[in-house]
Amino acid sequence: MFFDVLKKKLNAKDEILSGLTVALALIPEAIAFSFVAGVSPLVGLYAAFIMGLITAVFGGRPGMISGATGSMAVVFVALVSTYGTQYLFATVILVGIIQILIGVFKLGKFARIIPHPVMLGFVNGLAIVIFRAQLGQFKVDVNGKSMWMTGSTLYIMLGLVILTMLIIYFLPKLTKAVPSSLAAIITVTLISLWLSKSGFNIPNVKDFAKGGISGAFPQFSLPKVPFNLKTLEIIFPFALTAALVGLIESLLTLTLIDELTDTRGRSNKECIGQGAGNMLCGVFGGMGGCAMIGQSIINVTSGGRKRLSGIVAAISLLLFVMFGSSLIEIIPLAALVGVMFMVVIGTFEWESLKLGNKIPLKDVIVIIIVMIITVVHDLALAVIVGVILSALIFAWEKGKQISATIFMRDDGIKVYRLDGPLFFASATCFKNIFDIKNDPKEIMIDFKNSHIMDHSAIEAINSITKKYKENNKKLHLKHLSPDCLQLLNNAEEIIDVNILEDPKYYIADDTLA
């Protein structure tokens, strides 16, 4: 597959330079998320290499970058603190198995039904989370306590961050021969080295990693845990949560990159790629991970659109760890913070701030709720709540749309011609349409312009037929499908149906299975 990539028409220079830029941006993130999970920095760096390489080669979205992520690290905190790193590796293997099964059974396609307001809330919330994560770089260790920077250290840090952002913003307007993020990192690193020689304290990657990032090639090793039901009982809840969190973030990132590149990724293939990457993380000492929206945006905006950029990023990261750690450790944190601040600016949907008067209030509420939950809790819960809330709002709106045209026929039959879908949300409105006590002896309900959606609709029809029966009145039901008739309790006694005109749709109801 690697050679197939090389045969395709792509700008190899842009792909390679973009991959190098992403590799540099992956390092502080991987280290930071390792600390969040309570494991060694190398565990996060190995995860970034393995996830990045496997998903770049076998994933369903060329150009998307995967690695160790904060959303999954948060899930593992309690597991690592209670049971240790070996249980983490066993959990990550199970995460991979679950994700592969989701891909094999083609469940990844359901990410496509996530409403746009949920997407907006997700990216806005994630931008805030990324921004908040960078604020920790403005702290220094003073006598064992973490304190905010002050004085010249703070001013130099802010100056280098702003310089990084300015280079990233203005360089593409002059030339696109070199990715602006890479140029900014190199420039600011050279300036920081000069400032360090002048006696200024410039925090760098080595200070952040507390001991450096030098390491060897990851070694194969099965997790040292008992292989029994007790272990499964411990790790399964963590594995299921992490698998869902990882896939939700990955598939939402896939959708976002689809929009940025006007292409379409393959969600089920991405599930399998993510699962394979996590399984390998578990046996090669990685903490697992998923797609990274920030690094994916850096890659795409730097010119990385194919699989080559992701492969280069992963391999470069490992080479940095094995042979070039001394060079990476001198990169100032300010340069990497500046890169991530530009990611925040590019990630946040600023147009959503102007949508207040242009979209329905319910969509604005969904955006805000999803954004808040993403920031204060986690992505998975935010998306689940957003989808459920959107579905309930949709059901409520559709439920109010059912109505009826009422008229008397020449033969004395009163006709209720329904308009709108009949389902659980509209069942109450449906029942309120009828004037059972004052209706004549014969009534017709015409469903030609309506549609019976679920069992709640059937029960609503049963309720109406029962009430007409109790009042000794004859009811004619027209344009019902055969499965509707099968579920009507009083069909044989009071209902007259014109079979020739009946539609051929089916109801979502388990009793027909």
Tell me: the pLDDT tens digits for 406-455? 999 888 899 999 998 888 888 888 889 999 999 999 999 888 888 777 87
3-state secondary structure at position 115 = coil
- List of residues 6+ apart from 352 with CB closer than 8 A: 120, 124, 367
pLDDT score, position 494? 44
* Domains defined along the chain, listed by start: 11-209+221-354 (no CATH), 400-512 (3.30.750.24)
DSSP state of 512: G
pLDDT score, position 3? 39
Q: What is the dihedral of CA 260, 316, 127, 261, to 10 degrees?
A: 0
**83 vs 38, 86, 90, 344, 423, CA distance in Å?**
12, 8, 11, 35, 48
pLDDT in tens, the chain (513 residues): 443 444 444 578 889 988 998 888 788 778 877 877 878 888 999 999 999 999 999 999 999 999 998 778 878 888 998 999 999 999 999 999 999 999 999 887 776 677 878 878 877 887 887 788 788 788 877 777 878 888 888 899 999 999 999 998 898 888 877 778 788 888 999 999 999 888 888 888 777 776 677 888 999 999 999 999 999 999 998 998 889 888 888 988 898 888 888 888 898 999 999 999 999 999 999 999 999 888 898 898 888 888 999 999 999 999 988 998 888 788 888 888 888 788 788 778 887 777 767 778 888 888 889 889 888 876 667 878 888 888 888 877 777 778 899 999 888 899 999 998 888 888 888 889 999 999 999 999 888 888 777 878 888 888 888 888 889 888 888 887 666 666 565 544 444 444 334 455 555 554 444
Q: What are phi and psi of 501, to 5 degrees?
A: -100, 0
Residue 79 and residue 64: Cα distance in Å, rounded? 29
379: its two tokens: 């992505």
CB 290 within 8 A of CB 247: yes
287: its two tokens: 């903490």
**pTM for the model:** 0.68
